[in-house]
Amino acid sequence: MDNATNIKEFYLHAFADMRFKGLYFILFLIIYLATVIGNIFIIVFTKMDHHFQTPMYFLLRNLAFLDICYTSTTLPQMLVNLLIENLAISLPACIIQLYVFLSLAASESSLLATMAYDRYVAICIPLRYSVIMSKDVCLYMVAGTWVIGGIYGAIHTANTFRLPFCGSNVLNHYFCDIPPLLKISCIDTLPNEATVFAVGGFLMLGCFLLISGSYVQILFSVLNIPKGCGRKKGLSTCVSHLIVVLLFYGSGSSMYFRPKSNVLADKEWLLSLFYTSITPFLNPIIYSLRNKDIHGAFRKNIHKLLRN
């Protein structure tokens, strides 16, 4: 237990035995740059065009900003880790990284649920949409997602770093996350794991129920629309969001809520690559490719630039 108070830094060991590190470095550098540029494009483009000054695009801009922050919390660390074996990270830096990462993840989960509610109001209660989803309400909703994220991050960070760490200070991961930190604790971590399941499960279940309830109502409303453009347009506005929800929740739950297994026990960090890197990278692509309004506005602005 004496060693627990002497640990001042951790070593990130995820890529120590991996071949072709240079190739992976280039690949993930491209993913990171594309993620940042793609989400900045969503923010700037929808902010400049007056056609996109609606609650849906306001929430989408906040999702894009969250994705930039979210991926910037882990990917730069991973890129450095690919260049330096056993990259050291100080204890304070590890605490901050875990808190920011968990807070942003919880905020994104809450924001996705908010976006589902926005689609429900737009499709099922269109006449009251401007009243229910007013500018002030949207601001309160977004602020609420940040508050929820901050509380969630604080609970798990405090719960994790109250544990004594002894023996090895090597984390088989590329950033400070709950599972690798629990593995090097000196004591039984069952209470911590129970907290992850309880608090994390409560948040995800609450968001999942809101998303599911919203889309069940949307489905019934759309099915009552006569066949034609109205039905197709109603569904098209929801498909992109559903794809993003499935990617985010599916990859996140596979890391934190799956049963323990010896299979890939030393490669658990591979699962986290998907929801920390791939999902934020795909989000702007999914929303841009499936959004005809963005396509039309983009082509219109390009033509204006070419004529000038």
Non-local CB neighbours of 200 within 8 Å, separated by 6+ positions: 152, 156, 256, 257
Residue pLDDT tens, the chain, 308 long? 444 446 788 888 877 666 778 888 899 999 999 999 989 988 888 888 777 888 988 998 999 999 999 999 999 988 888 888 778 889 999 999 999 999 999 999 999 999 999 989 988 888 899 899 999 999 999 999 999 999 999 999 999 998 888 767 888 888 898 888 888 888 888 888 888 888 888 888 888 889 889 888 888 887 776 665 555 665 666 777 787 888 777 766 666 665 555 445 556 667 778 778 888 888 888 777 656 666 666 666 666 655 65
**Pair 287, 42: CB distance under 8 Å:** yes
Please tell me the predicted confidence (pLDDT) of residue 3.
45
List pLDDT tens digits, range 42-73.
Answer: 888 888 877 788 898 899 899 999 999 999 99
What CA–CA distance (Å, rounded) separates 108 from 104? 6
Non-local CB neighbours of 35 within 8 Å, separated by 6+ positions: 67, 68, 71, 75, 277, 280, 281, 284
- For residue 136, the number of C-alpha atoms closer than 13 Å in the C-beta half-sphere is 2
Please tell me the predicted confidence (pLDDT) of residue 263.
47
List pLDDT tens digits, range 3-20.
Answer: 444 678 888 887 766 677
What CA–CA distance (Å, rounded) separates 23 from 19? 9
Please tell me the predicted confidence (pLDDT) of residue 32.
94
Domains of the chain: 2-307 (1.20.1070.10)
